[in-house]
């Protein structure tokens, strides 16, 4: 990747303020150096936080984002900053999970993307939310996301 390819990156290599809200414009992409190959990229976000839009209480999730890039890959610091924007954002589990998947797919125009949101229980009910863009490529190995279903004390 040349320096020209990095010319539009704003988060990498310096101090970056934490966004006040989830803004997809914070997300940045770089050219995929292996664009002729189908391969899986996985981001595991074990400490995702948002706010319940009704009670104002914090919600916590373990997110797993898998995608097959085409021409672009997400720049990881920009992804962290985008996800930080949810910390004070009021939204239901379903909205957070699907919105993150859609925002990243819109930026990258992936060959395939899926996101699993494994939300910790509050009020006694865990909520798991899953979204994907379609079927993965036939030749791709797609491992299990590795997050066990909630068992509580049982």
DSSP H helices in the chain = 76-84, 93-108
Give 120's contacts (C-beta < 8 A, 6+ positions apart). Answer: 59, 60, 61, 62, 126, 150
The DSSP letter of residue 52 is: -
- Total residue length of the chain: 154
**Looking at 5, 23, 25, 52, which residue is catalytic?**
52
Query: What's the start-to-end Cα distance of the chain, in Å?
Result: 51
Distance in angstroms (rounded) separating the CA atoms of residues 154 and 69: 39
pLDDT digits (tens, 9 = 90+) for 24-52: 999 999 999 999 999 999 999 999 999 99
59 an active-site residue?
Answer: yes
Per CATH, domain 26-32+39-132 is 3.30.1130.10:
yes
- Three-state SS for 4? coil
Name residue 52's beta-bridge partners. Answer: none
- Three-state SS for 2? coil
The DSSP letter of residue 65 is: E
Q: Give me the mean pLDDT over the 110-120 stretch.
A: 97
- Angle at which helices 76-84 and 93-108 cross, to 10°: 150
**Looking at 59, 66, 96, 105, which residue is catalytic?**
59
66 an active-site residue?
Answer: no
Mean pLDDT score of the chain, rounded to an integer?
91
Residue 5 has pLDDT above 90, yes or no: no
Residue 6 has pLDDT above 70, yes or no: no
Query: Please, are residues 11 and 28 in contact by the beta-carbon 8 Å criterion?
Result: yes
pTM over 0.85: yes
Domain spans in the chain, listed from the N-terminal domain onward: 26-32+39-132
């Amino acid at each position: 990747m040349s320096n020209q390819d990095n010319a539009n990156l704003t988060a990498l290599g310096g101090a970056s303020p934490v966004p006040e809200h989830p803004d997809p414009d914070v997300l940045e992409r770089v050219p995929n150096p292996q664009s002729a190959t189908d391969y899986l990229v996985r981001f595991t976000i074990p400490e995702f936080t948002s706010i319940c839009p009704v009670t104002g209480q914090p919600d916590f999730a373990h997110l797993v984002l898998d995608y097959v890039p085409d021409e672009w890959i997400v720049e990881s610091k920009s992804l962290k900053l985008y996800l930080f924007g949810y910390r004070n954002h009021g939204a239901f589990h379903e909205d957070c999970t699907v919105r993150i998947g859609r925002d990243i797919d819109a930026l990258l125009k992936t060959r395939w993307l899926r996101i699993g949101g494994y939300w910790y229980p509050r009020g006694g009910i865990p909520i798991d939310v899953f979204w994907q863009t379609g079927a993965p490529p036939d030749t791709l190995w797609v491992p299990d996301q590795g997050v066990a279903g909630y068992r509580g004390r049982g």
